[in-house]
Amino acid sequence: MSRLGRAKKAANRLRKLQFIWGIAVLLGGFASVLNITDFRCITVNLVSEGARIFIRSHELEWQHHAAQTSTARAACCAPAY
C-alpha cells in the first residue's frame, strides 16, 4: 500500500474516532460540563462529518443517475445520418 493510501486510511480512522467521541460526549450527558466553545466545536464537527457520510452514501446513486441521463440524452439527441 502506498503512503497516500495509508494516510487516507489513518485519516478515515481518525474521523470515525472523532465522530464516535463527539456523539458520546453530546449524548452521554457530558455536554452540560463543556463550555460553549467546546460544545460548538463538537457540534460543527458532528454536523460536517454527518454531511460527509450522507453525501458519500448517496454518491453512487447520483453517479448512476448521471450515467442514465447522459446515455438517454446521447440516444435522444444523436445526429441521424
Break the chain down into helix, strand, coil percent, rounded to 5: 85, 0, 15
Q: Which residue has the cell 453530546?
A: 26
User: Residue 65 above 70 pLDDT?
Assistant: yes
* 64-72: average pLDDT: 71
User: Residue type for 29, please?
Assistant: G
pLDDT band for 16, please (50, 70, 90 cuts).
confident
Q: Is the pLDDT reported for residue 60 higher than 80?
A: no
Angle, CA 32 vertex, CA 29 and CA 37 arms, to 5°:
120
Cα–Cα dist 76/81, whole Å: 14
As given in the structure block, the three cell numbers for residue 75 are: 440516444
**pLDDT tens digits for range 24-46:** 888 888 878 889 998 888 889 88
